[in-house]
Chain A
Amino acid sequence: MADTLTPVLTDNWDGERAWTLAAYEERGGYAALDKAFAMAPDDVINAVKESGLRGRGGAGFPTGMKWGFIPQDNPKPKYLVVNADESEPGTCKDIPLMMASPHTLVEGAIVSSYAIRANTAFIYVRGEVLHVIRRLQRAVQEAYLAGHLGKNIHGSGFDLDLIVHAGAGAYICGEETALLEGLEGRRGQPRLRPPFPAVAGLYASPTVINNVESIASVPSIITHGAAWFAGMGTEKSNGYGIFSLSGHVKNPGQYEAPLGITLRQLIDLAGGIREGHELKFWTPGGSSTPLLTPEHLDVPLDFEAVGAAGSMLGTRALQIFDETTCVVRAVLRWTEFYKHESCGKCTPCREGTWWLTQTMARLEKGEGHESDLDLLLDQCDNILGRAFCALGDGATSPISSSIQHFRDEYLAHLTHGGCPFDPAASTAFAPVGATA
């Protein structure tokens, strides 16, 4: 039984100048390269398969299996693309990782590229995080100078170029095929699949796209062994992950734990809900994952149990809202976000998110009618499963789940003739004991 918290990726974040190569190497950094280079690339893939590592960007697809889909008999170059476009509302784990220890990601990118036989890799990082980009640029530069990147790395005969690519502001580019469009210098609109990126991705070549945390986990798997990783977590959700608590808890922040920890445990570690208040609703993995309530406090936070509870583990972005928060206001704001970020490619999402916003806004102002709730659910029904990518689906999650759990609160806006909550009471700088 592992400890409650298991710092691996976060373990060096309290180190002095941990972002530098010197600090990273002092604690054994880049040793996973030699261990990996002593293995056949397929054995590295097998180790990641056996570890049970599942994609940490939200979908939870088995990482090793994804790597195994790369057709090695395809004569085109293979590419690794690290998805560092962290933008899902509530998600805030990859950014501190890259700021504190960019070399963990660089080392992971090298091992992963070796496994899939890529000689060029990219880190597609969202443009709105200047200092993180600086640290990545510096880490890559240091890694080249130290011989961890470039030609014949560590005398292995393996070559790798790693390019840090800054995006320019588009939530949709977190979707892997839209990300590839952005990386090819185009509008970030998703591609039809199949063909999947493993077959025809970047420049129509075989491409693996993995989240930052997934790639950063690879060196630890190589160093400590697949069984070590698989020994943490739950039966089908192996390993550790970073859980990000935000909102109305006493100590918001990053908590790295085996998958399967509960929100009750995490809130306890975070010092509880802020003083004088109680939990009202939360997202398990970003705004695109259906809202949960206090009745779900003991759901193990792994892929299976959160799914069975009617939501998704997503990115473990636990946004915590107490009773001062108006759920209608919260959901309207997310809906406006999806509308703003809809890429416009498909009709259900492009038009649907506008309709959702209009209907939600009317309800929030207390100007709607009870039948608008049915209208909203009908609109959701016309988007969910009919949109081109998951953005449209995600837009419906907060709406349908909030109507399911908080129908009365929507109706209260109608009887009250507007929002019955005081927005000042929910702020971080509200006086203790302020109530809505």
Chain B
Amino acid sequence: MTIDHELGGPTLDDKTWAELREIAARYPEARSGLLPMLHLVQSVQGRITPEGIEACAEILGISAADVNGVATFYTMYKRKPVGDYHVGVCTNTLCAVMGGDLIFERLKEHLDVGNDETTADGKITLEHIECNAACDYAPVMMVNWEFMDNQTPESAVQAVDDLRAGKEVHSTRGPRLCTWREAERVLAGFPDDRADEGPTAGPASLAGLKIAREKGWTAPEGEK
């Protein structure tokens, strides 16, 4: 694989071009593939590159400006290279109140980066994120879009330190964490082998069910 030093990542090879076409072919109309195609570009190149934009445009028969317009609309697409681990701290109201603001401040200080910046070793990109639909586990942190539930400033620091040290880190209700690029490949619709890792549900998801089991509460009998 050749490295384009100016872009800082490998160029798109024949395999990636074939996969981009494969994504477009999944849909009744090819352009529907654009969002996952851009995820694939990020998985290969670590960000949205001009080359990736041109490739999507050529495959879909639309202009690079059209692709660019889409790539700049969605927050998961990044123009600057992302580290091995994208760490997102929820600072929407509920998580912020429950401690997300303090966690984010601590991580900025600990990693010596600002919002949407990457550590000098290229390992961690820190960002504050919006509600990630895990409010019953607040405060929540996402690493490569995996749930890290019920965080404290200390647990968050521990997680990023472990990641930087190359240790294996698990989502609190999910699998071993993969890299950001590997995650982007799954989002592009190329599954990895981790679907069976992690529990069925976390403890908060089961709060009501646990009470129902204890009390013998059920939905009514239905027709047979």
Interface set of A (CB-CB < 8 Å, partner B): 2-8, 10-11, 13-20, 77, 86-92, 94-96, 99-101, 120, 126-131, 133-135, 137-138, 141, 163-171, 182-188, 203, 220, 223-225, 227-228, 231-232, 240, 243-247, 251-257, 269-270, 287, 317, 319, 321, 325, 329-331, 333-334, 337, 340-341, 343, 423-424, 426-429
Contact = CB atoms under 8 A, between A and B. Distances in A.
Nearest to A223: B222
The listed residue with most B CB atoms (<10 A of its CB), out of A99, A141, A168, is A168
Nearest to B153: A429
B74 A134 contact: no
Given A100-B200, A100-B205, A134-B194, A340 B130 contact: yes
B33 interface: yes
B48 to A, nearest CB: 10
Interface in B194-224: 194-196, 198, 200-213, 215, 217-223
B94 A270 contact: no
A366 B38 CA distance: 44
A166 B26 CA distance: 13
B207 A170 contact: no
A185 to B, nearest CB: 3
B113 to A, nearest CB: 20
7 contacts: A89-B92, A91-B131, A99-B200, A166-B36, A244-B135, A245-B136, A333-B92
Nearest to A4: B217
A94 B211 CA distance: 20
B44 to A, nearest CB: 16
Interface of B: 26-29, 31-36, 38-39, 60, 69-70, 73-77, 88, 91-94, 96-99, 101-102, 129-139, 142, 144-147, 150, 152-153, 171, 173-175, 183, 186-189, 191-192, 194-196, 198, 200-213, 215, 217-223
Nearest to B102: A427
Contacts of B75: 168-170
The listed residue with most A CB atoms (<10 A of its CB), out of B35, B38, B101, B153, is B35
B169 to A, nearest CB: 14
Contacts of B131: 87-91, 337
A184 B192 CA distance: 25
Contact of B130 (A133, A243, A337): A337
A426 B97 contact: yes
B88 to A, nearest CB: 8
Given A7-B209, A18-B200, A269-B208, A185 B70 contact: yes
B195 A134 contact: yes
B186 A130 contact: yes
Contacts of A171: 130
A94 B136 CA distance: 13
B136 to A, nearest CB: 4
Given A225-B223, A330-B97, A5 B189 contact: no
B208 A168 contact: no
Contacts of B223: 224-225, 227-228
A185 B33 contact: yes
Given A100-B200, A183-B32, A252-B204, 19 more contacts: A8-B219, A18-B200, A87-B133, A130-B146, A131-B147, A137-B189, A166-B188, A167-B35, A168-B39, A168-B74, A185-B70, A225-B223, A227-B223, A228-B222, A253-B205, A254-B207, A317-B135, A331-B93, A427-B98
A287 B94 CA distance: 10
B135 A14 contact: no
A246 B221 CA distance: 30
